[in-house]
Amino acid sequence: MRVILTRLVSLPWLTIACVMILSLVGSLALFSASQGSWSPWAERHLIRAAFGTILMIGILLVPVRVIFKSSYLIYAGALIVLIALQAIGFGQGATRWIAIGPLNFQPSEPAKLAVILALARYFSARTPEQLNSFLPYIPAFAIVAVPTALVLIQPDLGTSLMLLMGGLIVIFCAGIPFRYVSAMFVVFMAALPVLWTNLYEYQKQRVLTFFNPGDDLLGAGFQIMQSKIALGSGGIFGKGFLMGSQSQLNYLPEKQTDFVFTMIGEEFGLIGNLAILVVYFMIFFSIMRLSFRIQHRFGRLVCAGISGMLFLYVFVNVAMVTGIVPVVGVPLPLISYGGTAMLTVFIALGLVNAMALSNDVEDEDFFISSSR
């Protein structure tokens, strides 16, 4: 009994409470998106949140050593599914989902976690002296590049960039020297013209619309202009729950997924949007604080990678709906409607909680020796 109580106290309860708050906010937002009805989105969102909570609890009970040993296997499984997606997948304008009975599964979402786990295990065996050389980073870049390329050919530019940046965050946290970061930035900037010429026409249109959304208000610029109108009309305190004109009259596109933050801003104003961002910040802060307390590098890198992944979700979504970055189709974690993305976040938080329950300095030798 004493052991159970000790483990319960060790859990990051601040993170768990924030997750529950965001899941509830998401259900209410989807209730509003369907004009005051629990179907078709809000009810399913609640069910997924309940299932995700059970999944999170189940994962946090898994010993970290088991997660560590399974990291490469999980990564290999993610690659196999992404490859199979090209043959059996489906989607509108892209091959992004696999049907499992009545459910649709998007493999690119859990692939982000697979990359984080594989990188964390790989860097667990690298010494500070090794990390001063560039050669040990080549396998790490390959771990990121392969699934990124598989997602890019679906084609899904937004998700592939998220996967790439999430992997680079882990590599950065592992201790890559600044000279290599500078060199990669120079190479990236030099490669931009080549990358531009290889984009699909609709992807180029999204970028061009970002720079001048007023050129095609009834076409490519419609989404972002309606989003700005909704956010602006919400003012400081909003129009009230179920009272947003842009969302309730269906002028706001994809209000249940990509633009749910805009709908909340219209109904609850700047205050409502800031409150949500504060809750997200508390999750980031809690996970990063935990990563500094964990004694083994594997756990620290997993927590840093997951915190970075969640931050990218939030930053890109908010920046997208406010016109700071092009529209790329990134959901708002735990609030937007979408089963795979939501369950991926719960799995990620289960991994964080598992690291919190296995903070033992003696495990460091095990992680290093097992990585070699």
Whole-number CA gyration radius for the chain:
21
Interhelix angle 108-124/339-356, rounded to 10 degrees, is: 20
Place of tokens 């010993």: 63
Q: What is the pLDDT, as a whole number, of residue 209?
A: 67
Q: How many CB atoms lie within 10 A of CB 58?
A: 11
Average pLDDT across the chain, whole number: 84
Select from 78, 66, 54 the least CA-distant residue to 355: 66
- State how far the Cα of 45 lies from the Cα of 24, in Å rounded to an integer: 9
Asked if pLDDT for residue 253 goes beyond 90, the answer is: no
pLDDT in tens, 154-187: 877 788 888 999 999 999 988 888 888 888 888 8
Quote the tokens at residue 176: 């890559």
Asked if pLDDT for residue 8 goes beyond 70, the answer is: no
- State how far the Cα of 106 lies from the Cα of 28, in Å rounded to an integer: 24
C-alpha 340: how far from its chain's center?
A: 11
What are 103's strand-pairing partners? 100
pLDDT in tens, 102-121: 677 788 889 999 999 999 99
Query: Is 340:105 a contact under the CB 8 Å cutoff?
Result: yes
pLDDT in tens, 63-96: 899 999 999 999 999 999 999 888 777 766 565 7
Q: How many CB atoms lie within 10 A of CB 242?
A: 13
Asked if pLDDT for residue 100 goes beyond 60, the answer is: yes
Which of 57-61, 214-218, 253-257, 341-345 holds the top average pLDDT? 341-345
Query: Is 171:119 a contact under the CB 8 Å cutoff?
Result: yes
Q: Which residues, in sequence order, are CB contacts of 257 under 8 Å at separation 6+? A: 331, 336, 337, 338
The residue among 220 and 320 whose pLDDT is bigger is 320
Q: What is the pLDDT, as a whole number, of residue 186?
A: 85
Query: Is 266:330 a contact under the CB 8 Å cutoff?
Result: no
Asked if pLDDT for residue 214 goes beyond 80, the answer is: no
What are 90's strand-pairing partners? 97
Model pTM? Answer: 0.89
6-15, 122-131, 146-155, 293-302: least confident range: 6-15
Query: Is 340:109 a contact under the CB 8 Å cutoff?
Result: yes
